[in-house]
Structure 1
Amino acid sequence: MNPPKVTSILFICMGNICRSPTAEGVFRAKAKAAGISEQLVIDSAGTHAYHIGEPPDARSHGFAVKRGFDLSQQRARQIKAEDFVNFDLLLAMDKSNLALLQAACPEPYQHKLDLLMHYAQHTQAEEVPDPYYGGVSGFDLVLDYIEDASEGLVARLQK
Structure 2
Amino acid sequence: MRVLFVCLGNICRSPMAEAVLRMKVNKAGLSGKIAVDSAGTGSWHIGDPPHRGTQKQLAAAAIPFDQMKARQINASDFQRFDRIIAMDRNNERDLIQMTDARNRAKVSRFMTLLHDQPHPDVPDPYYTGRFDEVYELIDRGTDQLIKELARQIR
Q: RMSD between aligned alpha carbons?
A: 1.2
**How far did residue 120 of structure 1 move?**
2.6
Structure 2, unmatched stretches of 5+, are none
Partner AA of 2:132 in structure 1: D
Number of the residue aligned with 2:31 = 37
Q: Is the 8 A contact 1:123 1:145 kept in 2?
A: no
Q: 1:141 and 2:151 equivalent?
A: no
**How far did residue 20 of structure 1 move?**
0.3
Number of the residue aligned with 1:95 = 89
**How far did residue 22 of structure 1 move?**
0.2
Structure 1, unmatched stretches of 5+, are 1-6
TM-score, structure 1 normalization = 0.90
Aligned ranges for residues 1-159 of structure 1 at < 5 Å?
Answer: 7-120=1-114, 123-135=117-129, 138-159=130-151
Work out the CA distance in 2 between the residues paired with 1:74 and 1:24: 9
TM-score, structure 2 normalization = 0.93
Q: Is the 8 A contact 2:22 2:35 kept in 1?
A: no
Work out the CA distance in 2 between the residues paired with 1:18 and 1:45: 11
Work out the CA distance in 2 between the residues paired with 1:96 and 1:81: 18
* Deviates most, 118-127 or 12-21: 118-127
Q: Percent identity?
A: 38
